Structures are given as C-alpha cells and as structure tokens.
Amino acid sequence: MMAAAVGTTLSVGSAISAGCKPGPVTLQKTMGVKLNSASRLSCFSGLKAISSVSGGQEASFLGSGSLAAIQRSFVAKAGERNQRSYMQLQSQASFKVAVLGAAGGIGQPLALLIKMSPLVSALHLYDIANVKGVAADLSHCNTPSQVLDFTGPSELASALKGVNVVVIPAGVPRKPGMTRDDLFSINAGIVKNLVEAAADNCPDAFIHIISNPINSTVPIAAEVLKKKGVYDPKKLFGVTTLDVVRANTFVAQKKNLKLIDVDVPVIGGHAGMTILPLLSKTRPSVTFTDEEVQELTVRIQNAGTEVVEAKAGDGSATLSMAYAAARFVESSLRALDGDTDVYECTYIESDVTDLPFFASRVKLGKKGVEAVITKDLQGLSEYEEKALETLKAELKGSIEKGIAFANKQPVAVA
C-alpha cells in the first residue's frame, strides 16, 4: 500500500469498505475516509501523475488529483459531521474499464492498480488463457469495482460491451532468436484483432495502446478504426507515460529534488532514439550541464534495456509499465469524470510536426484530447532541436510500417 502524506490517512482498501454491508458490488456504496487533520484531502502517494501547464496544481496517481475526483464523485452526506475527523461519502464509481491481456506480466499488476481506483465500477479482464484465477484473486480486494473475467475470442465481445476505457497490453515480449520483424508481425496482428473488436462493441471508448512497438501499433489501430467507420483521433492513445515516469525519477535522483515536484515532458515516440525528454522544460526549473543532458537523455531512451539486463534476460519492464499505464488510466477516468485540469504526454495523431503521429503533452477532457500543448516544443535547446530532427526519420518509418500493415489486412466483419 502506498504511504500517506503528512496530515492525511486514506486506506483505499479498508476505508472504502467501512460502513458497507457485505454483498454484491453496486454503483453506490458508503465510503469512510479518515482524516488526521481538518485540512482538505491532499496528495498521499508522492508519485506525481500530472501537472497543469501553469504548474498550479499538484496531482498524483491516486494522489491529490484522484482525491479531488473522489471528492467530486463521492457526494458528502455528513452535514455537521464535516467538522469531525470521520466523514461519510457516497460513492459514484461509474466507469467500466477493460484490460485486454490481463493475465500477462503487465496485465496483472495493471489490473490490480486499476482495481484500486475509486472511479471504476467494473473491471473486465480478458485474455486467451489463465485469466479466471487473476480475476478471482483481484475480486477479493475490498475496493468498489466488480471484477469479471473473459477468456478467448468467443468472449471478447462481451468483455468490451459498454466499456468506457479499453487498455491493450496484450502481446509478446521479444525472445531470443526473434527478430524485430517477427515481434512486429505478432503484436501488430494482436492489436489489429483487439481494436476491431473494440470498434464493434465500444466505439466511443478511449483506447489505450501499450503493445509494442507503439510507434507502429497506434497507426495500425487508427487505420482499423477508420475502416470500421468509428475513428475518433481524440480517443486513441499510445501510452508513453513510462518515459515521463522515468524522466521524472532520473532527474529527481540526479538533481536531488523532491520527486513530487518534478515534471519533465517527453515528446516524439516510444522507442530508443524517438524518445526525447525535454530537459530544458523541466519543472521546477533546473540547470543541466551538456554532459548531464546527454547522460540523462540516453538513460531515459534505453531504460527498458536497463531493466532487461537487470532481470538477466528473464523479463522486461512490466511493473513500471503497469504503474505508468495505471496512471494514464486514472488520468483518463478523471477527465471523463469532469476534471478540467488533466494533462499527460501521449502518442496520438498530431499536427504539431510534419509527422502524422507524435507524442507530446495534451489536455484531456470528457471527449478525449481537448488540446495539444504546443508551447512545450517552443524554445527548445540546441541539443533538443537536433535530436528532434534526428528522431523524425526513424519515427516516420515506424508509422509508415504500421499503416502499410493495416492496409494489407482484411477487416473482420462483426
């Protein structure tokens, strides 16, 4: 369990069940929140999720931003009891999330983190095998969302019916002897099939693509949705949050800063040299030497390899990816719930460069991307300007590869 910040104690597990009678999960339950002070709910995780462009609001995954969402989503019934340290709130958890690939190395911890969200009423877990045990395990967690499992293609449509957010971590990691083309062909096909099902069963949902290579799989998803006649570029996201999470962590460590205060926008794509942390735009403002810029940029770009080597070939970045993806899900849910101060970096169809897809900071709202924050790309350092021009050729090739793949494939009929 994440530790609470000074002055606030909130247990996502036990507190949510406080005052609830045993029984089936419903959309409205009473939740107890125990406060150690009379001050408003504040950040408790110390893991920063987003910050506004003006830098005015602190927020973190299941932190102040989410607690603000709790305050909006849980109607106060306390009356005069607001003066007490124990408040009764009415739950309005109302969003359905589907995780496709929920039994995998990313899917399992991701499902657990999403289960913790007070905004989720139903969590649909889908995989081709081994998902029943994951669902049974998670269903014992005393948080509001109901967990349902779905196994195999015959149950995929049911997993997606009425879902608000679809998260796709499904796919295979690169294995010894497997070429990048082999990996692309397998994961591209998986993403295509899953997005087709989403188009048929929840065409208005936010779709979060995690399956690598994101630089290609997001364009594939876009082409599939176009062929299905339901493409909304504002609702299709490549989850690049892990690059931001790493950048924030590494900069905080390097400069001995409070992690909760650090925000580094990351643009470009989500592979190697296409990942470009804008260290010159770091908040709070901090000075880097040329050597530090080079060192941090390379480490952020190659952080996945750092994990693979540390695991001695026995896995990749699954836990940090799950955390980053859960953070992006939480941001999406907050936006859907009406929060007007939600910003994240994400890989989307974009016109901020001459490339059709590009990762940059966006403002999220109820209908998806409300605005692309172009000022992040203004006044770049000389190093960043050169790196941006260099990454474009690599990213362009990946985008074209994805589009070409999608256009060669027949569209499945629902």
For 237-268, write each residue's pLDDT tens digit. Answer: 999 999 999 999 999 999 999 999 999 999 99
Confidence of residue 182 (pLDDT cuts 50, 70, 90): confident
The whole-number pLDDT of residue 183 equals 79
- Does residue 34 lie in a domain region? no
The whole-number pLDDT of residue 174 equals 65
- Does residue 63 lie in a domain region? no
pLDDT digits (tens, 9 = 90+) for 360-401: 999 999 999 999 999 999 999 999 999 999 999 999 999 999
- Does residue 2 lie in a domain region? no
* Measured distance CA(6)–CA(13) in Å, rounded: 19
Q: Which residue has better confidence, 305 or 193? A: 193
Q: Is the pLDDT of residue 140 over 90?
A: yes
% the chain with pLDDT above 90: 70
Confidence of residue 236 (pLDDT cuts 50, 70, 90): very high
Q: Is the pLDDT of residue 134 over 90?
A: yes
The whole-number pLDDT of residue 258 equals 95
- Does residue 386 lie in a domain region? yes
Query: What are the structure tokens assigned to 124, written together?
Result: 């649909």
**Which helix (H) or strand (E) is 50 found in, with range?**
strand 48-51
- Does residue 42 lie in a domain region? no
We report the CATH number of the domain holding residue 266 as 3.90.110.10
Domain that holds residue 366: 95-407
- Does residue 74 lie in a domain region? no
The whole-number pLDDT of residue 175 equals 62
CB 137 within 8 A of CB 114: no
Confidence of residue 338 (pLDDT cuts 50, 70, 90): very high
- Does residue 195 lie in a domain region? yes
The whole-number pLDDT of residue 314 equals 82
The whole-number pLDDT of residue 172 equals 84
The domain total for the chain is: 1
Backbone CA torsion sign across 209, 214, 220, 223: positive
Residue 130: partners with Cβ closer than 8 Å, 6 or more residues away: 103
Q: Is the pLDDT of residue 225 over 50?
A: yes
Q: Which residue has better confidence, 30 or 150? A: 150
CB 347 within 8 A of CB 243: no
**Mind telling me the catalytic residues?**
270
Q: Is the pLDDT of residue 19 over 50?
A: no
pLDDT digits (tens, 9 = 90+) for 65-108: 554 444 444 333 334 444 433 333 343 679 999 999 999 999 99
Q: Is the pLDDT of residue 32 over 70?
A: no
Strand pairing class (357-365; 342-349): antiparallel
- Does residue 391 lie in a domain region? yes
What is the identity of the amino acid at 280? Answer: S
* Measured distance CA(219)–CA(241) in Å, rounded: 18
Q: Which residue has better confidence, 33 or 155? A: 155
